[in-house]
Amino acid sequence: MLQTYPLFLTEEKIRCISLAGYNPIGVFLRNSSVRSLYWAKICFLSILMFTCSWPISSKELEPIYPIRGTFIQLLENSHGQWSENEWVTFFSYLKKLNISDLYLQWTVADTRSFFYSSTFQTVESPPLETILRLAEQFEIKVNIGLVYDYEYWNQINNNSDRVKIYLEELLIRSKLAAEQIKSIAINYKSFKGWYITEEVDDINWKLDDKRELLFSYLERLSDALEKLTPGYQIAISGFCNGQIQITEFKKFWDQLFKRTKINLALFQDGIGTNKLTFSNLPYYLAAFKKSAIDNQREMGVIVEIFRQVDGYPINKKEFHAVPAELFRINWQRQMASKFSHNIVAFSIPNYMMPIAGSSGNALYNKYLEDIEKEN
């Protein structure tokens, strides 16, 4: 069922309007001779309610789709040691949130595998088979990521010759991981397909020769995955820093789709990291959707449910983020719903679960209240 969100007068709404630079009470006090606190409050609320009101015509109320998927980044010191009960609790939370798709961003982190492997170093309690088995019980589909290399972003910033060597090595490791994972995953109905771990951005592939290296890598990897498991989904995600013209952005994805067997592309909205804004995001989403339609591919939108507080470009500290306010997340969902019903969160385990701390628990409960209103 779709849900619509009229803009009610709330503390969150007041705070968002203030952040946008609009101060109705200031305008009122500067231009009115009335100084009574009572009348100031009355006028302030009137102005604010007018500003925040949404047209009541049903034609103008825009639908908002629920979050249907989430990513999880498997970590050795936590997920690599979880018990069966901890995974059951995890899936119970996902089920309560009506999540139907789980994306494992990777199953090999550098050299450590989250499945039993004869070539990679296996973590203490490899969870892949447990995840697939419980996902089947909870009726959740799983897209399995491959190899995450900690040096990926540094490596692709090098010259073309070095990038070529790097991607060749990464291709070998990714294909090896996929071959070993297949023997596990193919036994479970929850296995939906693959997720290519390498994220595609708008900065590192500007040069034609480097772009060709990327397309060649994705072409060969997706070909291998299709041959390994015919008919299964092959997904990838991309994001923008606002550093590419819209026409060039669409051309890039047209070329990528034509060269590869990738059949699902997810676009990160960039709101949590401030890479994009609510004003320029729609243009990129429109071009992304047009490219997917033109090339007969599926698309979805990744909603960043966090707010970055540390890390580049804010400061020189390590990346750190906190759960975003539900009001902002609902705005993101409203925006995403204009382009796709496939809305995926990044990421519920980190920012919208009781296991994510007190603020994560608070967001979890608030979002639960929202989706319970729909039923």
Average pLDDT, integer, range 135-140: 99
Weakest mean pLDDT among 2-11, 85-94, 215-224, 277-286: 2-11
Quick one: pLDDT at residue 375? 64
Q: Is residue 218 part of a domain?
A: yes
Residues 40 and 149 in one domain: no
Closest CA to 1 of 64, 70, 69, 62: 64
What CATH number is given to the structural domain containing 88? 3.20.20.80
**45 and 108 fall within a common domain:** no
Mean pLDDT of 331-339: 98
CB 150 within 8 A of CB 206: no
Q: Mean pLDDT across the stretch 351-369?
A: 98
Range 211-224 average pLDDT: 99
The verdict on 165 and 275 lying in the same domain is yes
Judge if 30 and 98 occupy the same domain.
no
Phi, psi of 296 (to 5 degrees): 55, 50
Q: Considering its fold, how many domains does the chain have in total?
A: 2
Same domain, 291 and 157: yes
Tell me the whole-structure pTM to 2 decimals: 0.85
Q: 138 or 3: which carries more pLDDT confidence?
A: 138
Whether residue 252 sits in one domain with residue 202: yes
In a domain, 224, yes or no: yes
- Any domain includes 294: yes
Whether the Cβ atoms of residue 103 and residue 69 lie closer than 8 Å to each other:
yes
Q: Confidence band (pLDDT; 50, 70, 90) for 371?
A: confident
Same domain, 96 and 45: no
pLDDT at 19: 39
pLDDT at residue number 36: 44
Say if 58 falls within a structural domain.
no
> Sorting pLDDT into bands at 50, 70 and 90, what band is 56?
very low
Looking at the fold, whether 289 and 356 belong to one and the same domain comes out as yes
- Is 17 within a domain? yes
Q: Tell me if 240 is assigned to some domain.
A: yes
In angstroms, how far is the first alpha carbon of the chain from the final one?
8
Residue type, position 61, single letter: L
What percentage of the chain carries pLDDT values higher than 90?
Answer: 81
Asked whether residue 321 is domain-assigned, the answer is yes
- For a pLDDT cut of 70, what percent of the chain falls above it? 83
Residue 166 has pLDDT above 90, yes or no: yes
- Count other Cβ atoms within 10 Å, centred on residue 169: 12
pLDDT digits (tens, 9 = 90+) for 237-275: 999 999 999 999 999 999 999 999 999 999 999 999 999
Tally of CB atoms within 10 A around 33 = 4
pLDDT, residue 60, reads 55
Listed range (28-32, 121-125, 185-189, 223-227) with the worst mean pLDDT? 28-32
Give the pLDDT of residue 3.
46
Q: Quote the mean pLDDT of the chain.
A: 88
Question: In this predicted structure, what is the pLDDT of residue 26?
Answer: 40
Asked if 96 and 122 sit in the same domain, the reply is yes
Phi and psi at residue 292, in whole multiples of 5°? -60, -45
- Torsional sign, CA 300, 132, 224, 76: positive
Domain shared by 105 and 144, yes or no:
yes
Min mean pLDDT across 229-238, 256-265, 365-374 is at: 365-374
Cβ atoms 145, 199 nearer than 8 A: no
Q: Which domain holds residue 167?
A: 63-374
* Helix/strand/coil for 25: helix
Q: Which of 13, 30, 52 is the last residue of a domain?
A: 52
Is residue 47's pLDDT more than 90?
Answer: no
Distance of CA 73 to the CA centre of its chain: 12
Query: Would you say residue 329 has pLDDT above 60?
Result: yes
For the ranges 85-89, 99-103, 313-317, 363-367, the lowest mean pLDDT is seen at 313-317
User: If you average pLDDT over residues 82-108, what whole number do you get?
Assistant: 99
| One domain for residues 45 and 167 | no
Contact 178, 117 (CB under 8 A): no
Does the residue 57 lie in any domain? Answer: no
150 and 41 in a single domain? The answer is no
